[in-house]
Amino acid sequence: MVLEDIPLHWGDVCVIVGYFLCVLGVGLWSSKNSNRNSISGYFLASRNMHWIPVGASLFASNIGSGHFIGLAGSGAVSGIGIAGFELNAMFVMLILGWLFVPVYTAAGVYTMPEYLRKRFGGQRIRIYLSTLALLLYVFTKISADLYAGAIFIEEALKWNLYVAIIVLLAVAAIFTVAGGLTAVIWTDFVQTIIMIAGAFALMVISFVKVGGYQELVHQFATKIPNETVIGYNSKNVSCSEIPGNYMHLLRSAYDPELPWTGMVFGLTISAVWYWCSDQVIVQRVLSAKNVSHAKMGCIVAGYLKFLPMFLLVFPGMAARVLFTDQIGCSRPEACYAACKNKGGCSNIAYPLLVLELMPPGARGLMLSVMLAALMSSLTSIFNSSSTIFTIDIWTRIRKQAKEMELLIVGRVFVLVQVVVSILWIPIIQAAHSSQLFHYIQSVTAYLAPPVCAVYVLAVFWTRTNERGAFYGLMVGLVVGLIRFTWEFSYTVPSCASGQPDPRPYILSKVHYLHFGCILFVISFLVTVTVSLLTQPMDTKHLYRLTFWTRFSTKISEDIVNTKTGSGNDDVSNVNEGIENCAFNRDDIEGCEMKTTRTNSKDQSEEIPLWKRSIFFICGINHNPNSQDHQGAPIVQRMQEVSIWKNWCNFNAVLLAIFGSFVWGFYA
């Protein structure tokens, strides 16, 4: 059956509309009952979240429409190997909860660039990391998620790809009304439950259709397209041939797609960057009540990371068995006829399962879950990126910018980001034979390892200084950008064309995960070398900012106010007071409340209705009597009750054992 023959039932439309209204209602309700008019309330949910929603939000923030498209698509091409990306993450979740979160909590920070500014002083590392985060948001998150979500709409409603993207952006704007991290986390919690339930139902239906697990494993290796759509390369080998190691997680070190050396070392480097230093992820664990709740949230997310292999990868393999001619096409003409993409049709594997196998109503529910998850992640990214640009970059350019100017700049920047993301989508379509997940991971491997190296050294090696970190980042950036631009300057011919790969050896033979290892080592060595050759940091600046000093009773002195820094020139007096308090006091709550009350006197005059409306939509406080609630002080959040500490440790060991068994079973 071709995709044009699959109608969208009216019941599906009703379910989609009802689901959006339900999720929007949850977002508005949680937003109304949260303190979104304060800095701590808006960005960190007042540091008062329970471990269950924290864990669910970690999972939902990571598993978006890009995973449903990418994991299932890659599974349809080469088997279960791609699931290693998800199974690796559960070990990194333990690293986040046990090694990084205690340091971030002790430092009392809101953002990751803020941590490095406190750790090293100055502003240049903060500005660089903010800029890099914006680039990665465009190249790996926004554009990839838009493309993945648009595929669902394109296949379900038969709309043009770019029309579908515009619709997604328009609907996503509605969700921005329910602002604040509290609303996002509770919405993610609801979406996680429905997402898992729907994906589990589709997995069961897929296994039933192919005759069970054993039959799926047997048939997958033999399913290649018929002679009318098959393609051969110059060596007369089928371009649609299934690799013989399709049921292995660990493959040869020379495997062109998933070498075991890259999966063990290179993937871990990218994963540490993503899970332990990315603002969107770390922000959720920082919202937990204390370190124990943060650890248990990581444990919940770690257990949930077992599911994608069974809920997404195996169904993608089932799609290859059930729809062999469409999913397995290799000739450009045949692929274009099947999915309007000459590079391959693996990305339609999961949408085709949803549209073909799910009954009316349930099909609409699955589509709505994918799209709602996409838009939730988009609004979070838009909010984070506009905040990073406005506060960390624009205020460095315009030190005296007024509040209204910052509002306008933030919103205009979102539009610029959206335009750049849309323009980048054709590159995604052509990258890695249209296997979306490989595209996302390759871009990450070109840009993220230097950041990972600097964070690891900042947390665990007290000798690291600002100069070492800066030059390590800069050298890593240059090397990574060379590979990045070099890689995408070539157009790799399709397998069926019979033409040789025009790329040089370092591009065609050095896997992107191996390159990530090389880039990490380069940045690591540069940072260590420069740090050893320059003056070390005084220990008075390191209290509570490294893993070894996280329990210190002393308070670190602010480097920003010393000769090694550049001075605190933030545009807002409120922000300046809050940051200075965060650097120099244990009880941040009292300091921020005092700052808010002091500066609110200038805002007590009557505010026009149009301006109050903008403030409401943007979640900006215009009430002079409001206060910022920080939750428990830092010392209390760092303390762990023995019974809960032991319970967390027990589950961490259990998770590691369970994960090791799965890796060993499918190795």
Q: What whole-number distance in Å separates Cα of residue 607 and Cα of residue 404? A: 13
Q: What is the mean pLDDT of residues 443-470?
A: 94
Q: Are 97 and 277 in contact (CB under 8 A)?
A: no
CB 413 within 8 A of CB 385: yes
pTM (2 d.p.): 0.80
Res 534 pLDDT > 50: yes
Residue 641: pLDDT over 90:
no
What does the pLDDT read at residue 288?
83
- Local structure of residue 503 (DSSP, 8 states): S
Tokens 């491997």 map to which residue?
A: 445
The confidence score (pLDDT) of residue 321 equals 93
Candidate ranges 10-24, 136-150, 158-172, 453-467; pick with highest mean pLDDT: 453-467
- Supply 456's token pair: 């690891």
Residue 173 has pLDDT above 70, yes or no: no
Say whether pLDDT at 340 is over 50: yes
Q: Indicate if the pLDDT at residue 431 is higher than 60.
A: no
Question: Residue 487: pLDDT above 90?
Answer: no
Q: Are 129 and 112 in contact (CB under 8 A)?
A: yes
Contact 345, 329 (CB under 8 A): yes
* Lowest mean per-residue pLDDT among 170-174, 488-492, 526-530, 539-543: 170-174
**What whole-number percentage of the chain has pLDDT above 70?**
72
pLDDT tops 80 at residue 486:
yes
Contact criterion met (CB below 8 Å) for 560 and 568: yes
pLDDT of residue 236: 55
Domains and CATH numbers, the chain: 3-543+639-665 (1.20.1730.10), 567-631 (no CATH)
> Considering the chain, what percentage of its residues have pLDDT values greater than 90?
29
Q: Chain-wide mean pLDDT for the chain?
A: 77
Which carries the bigger pLDDT value, residue 352 or residue 34?
Answer: 352
Predicted local distance difference test score (pLDDT) of residue 442: 85
- Condensed to tens digits (0 to 9), the pLDDT of residues 571-628 reads 333 343 443 444 343 443 444 444 444 444 444 456 666 666 655 555 454 554 444 4
